[in-house]
Amino acid sequence: MENSPIQPDAIIAGECIGLLNALREPAADLIFADPPFNIGYKYDCYEDRKAYDEYFDWTSQWMRACAEKALKPAGSFWIAIGDEYAAEVRIIARRLGLNLRNWVIWHYTFGQATKLKFARSHAHLFYFTKDARKFTFNDTAVRMPSARQTTYADRRANPAGKLPDDVWSFSRVCGTFNERVDWHPCQMPEKVLERIIKVSSSDGDVVLDPFSGSGTTCCTAARLKRRYIGIEISENYVECSRQRLADTLAGRRPTTDISENPEALRHKRAVGKKSESDPNIRVRKSHTESDAATC
């Protein structure tokens, strides 16, 4: 990666397809991509409402750049996407020769209210590897208590717990959470990235996010002692996410303790004020107090 504009431990401004295609050698042990879903979100310098063929072609281009130019031979490739293009992502990955290990459903427990259809409360997390047999999978890092342990007192239970199922229940990042930023419209929870990074990479590995956005991937990777590369087309988001990263590493921005079963913490939540039992919950700023153009 010498003389490359892409270097570890940096969040850089630029368009990911061109930057990744310019790589002379693979840079990433793990790629996590959370691209615009093409559903009309308002970003500061990207039009999130493309024609179907245009969006499909663009998705094919950035996935190819990630899989063929950026991902190391034993690397893992995770993609977050909504219902509208989940099937297309699977088709493109098949054409690229990627190996599907899991199609995870993230049930985010805080869906948007609807009147004419069932409220959506999930997103798709595709887990691919470049090689069918050689990849990192740190199962002990993400094991959790099983029902055999917590409910049935079954002596056959593995004392290390069980691997999570392929349906993950984590809250979205609510406006009352400390990790919520006011300058980006779409933010992944650090707990989701924490699980992905722990299981699919090891200390010192390079984690790449081609759509860095609010900086969640880079912040979580750095916190977990991984090296990170964030690519973001918006210079404003780059500047703000660099500040978020600095605050995270300095301990000025704690994560929010969201359990695998959020209802277990329901009694700790306080509406409209800080919860005395959970200091990570904060008062949400009003629109007059926030400024999307600053950080």
- Cα 101 to its chain centre, rounded Å, is 17
Which residues, 6+ apart, have CB-to-CB distance to 224 below 8 Å?
194, 197, 198, 203
Q: How far apart are the first and last CA of the chain?
A: 31
State the pLDDT at residue 192: 96
Confirm if 17 and 61 have CB atoms less than 8 A apart. Answer: yes
Paired sense of beta strands 206-209 and 28-33, if any: parallel
pTM for the whole thing? 0.86
Structural domains of the chain sorted by starting position, each given as residue range(s) with its CATH number in brackets: 10-268 (3.40.50.150)
What 3 state SS string does 236-256 have? HHHHHHHHHHHHHHCCCCCCC
DSSP H or E segment with residue 192 = helix 190-200
How far is CA 33 from each of CA 50, 110, 123, rounded to the nearest angstrom? 19, 22, 13
Per residue of the chain (295 residues), give pLDDT as tens.
666 778 999 999 999 999 999 999 999 999 999 999 999 888 888 889 999 999 999 999 999 999 999 999 999 999 999 999 999 999 999 999 999 999 999 998 766 788 999 988 999 999 999 999 999 999 999 999 988 888 888 888 898 999 999 999 998 888 878 888 998 988 999 999 999 999 999 999 999 999 999 999 999 999 999 999 999 999 999 999 999 999 999 988 877 766 445 455 555 544 444 444 444 444 333 333 333 344 5
Per-position b or e across 231-256, b if 16+ CB within 10 A of its CB: bbbbebbbbbbbbbbeebeeeebebb
Using the structure block, give the residue that is written with the tokens 């010192």.
204
Using the structure block, give the residue that is written with the tokens 């691209």.
35
How far is CA 30 from each of CA 9, 66, 73, 118, rounded to the nearest angstrom? 14, 10, 11, 34
State the pLDDT at residue 271: 45
State the pLDDT at residue 278: 47
What 3 state SS string does 120-188 have? CCEEEEEEEECCCCCCCCCHHHCCECCHHHHCCCCCCCCCCCECCCCEEECCCCCCCECCCCCCCCCCC
Number of other residues whose CB lies within 10 A of the CB of residue 51? 9
